[in-house]
Structure 1
Amino acid sequence: MDIKAIARFIKHRVITDPRCEPRVAPELDLEAPLMVPKAVVVRALLDRMMPGREIILRSRDLEVPWEIEHLCNRLGHELVKVEREGATCWFTLRARETECRLAFQDPFGLELTPQVPVTTIDVPRRNKLKGPGRGISSASGAG
């Protein structure tokens, strides 16, 4: 059995680069529930990967190429290669090194901005405003 057949069997894809030997990286179909942005799923995957490891993501969504590029630019991960075949895109990403990663912060330990109480007034629609100009005062004082 050759390496491509093994890679297909275990849901991995062969990465070929003329500068080095072929290697295998996991390939995942980037499908997320409707309310979860795919960039959130990709970030969760990359945050759990060992530094320098590669992953291949497959997607048919039109906006994903821009989301992936923006995510890599903002977080410092490397977008190694983008391949298209019809409506399907494959993204090869490499997790950034440990010293470049953002420091972990406990979300429950973060200081929040102080909250200011807001007073609201409910005006029912059925009540008609009384007075001159239906409740709007004029600048001249004439009513």
Structure 2
Amino acid sequence: MFRRVRVPLALLLGFSLIAGACGSDDAEEASTGGGESAATTAAPAATTAAPAATTAAPATTAAPAQEEVATVEDHLGDGSLGTVEVGAGEEIQIRSLNAISGDVAFLGIPNQRGVELAIADYGPIGGHDVTIGTGLDDLCSADG
């Protein structure tokens, strides 16, 4: 009994998945049937074109006021967590403590490479070169 129901049900499910995949993604094409529905779908197209015209207008306005322009100092914070002074010509060194040897090196080496890629991708900060320095190994073992 179950085989008699399972096979046609599986075929029906497969056919419905194929029919759904081959169907139209555009709702307007699927709903066209008469002249009245075509006129109904044409009206929203005219209303959606109007907001696009209004959003293009602010692009031709004047430059923002001086107080609206963000400066570097806006992103530095208030210094409540402390500050780091980097002398002229010195490098900024970012350290990363990873397990790059031992049983769990397969976890730490990709992290180390990710830090290296991020430093290479971002580039200099404030005119200072950024390096990772000497790689630090936390010598983590599988035992902890």
TM-score range relative to shorter protein: under 0.3
Please state which structure has a larger fraction of its residues in helix.
2
TM-score, length of structure 1 as denominator length: 0.21
Rg comparison, structure with higher value: 2
- TM-score when scaled to structure 2? 0.21
**Larger RCO (CA within 8 A; separation ≥ 6):** 2
Greater share of residues in strand: 1
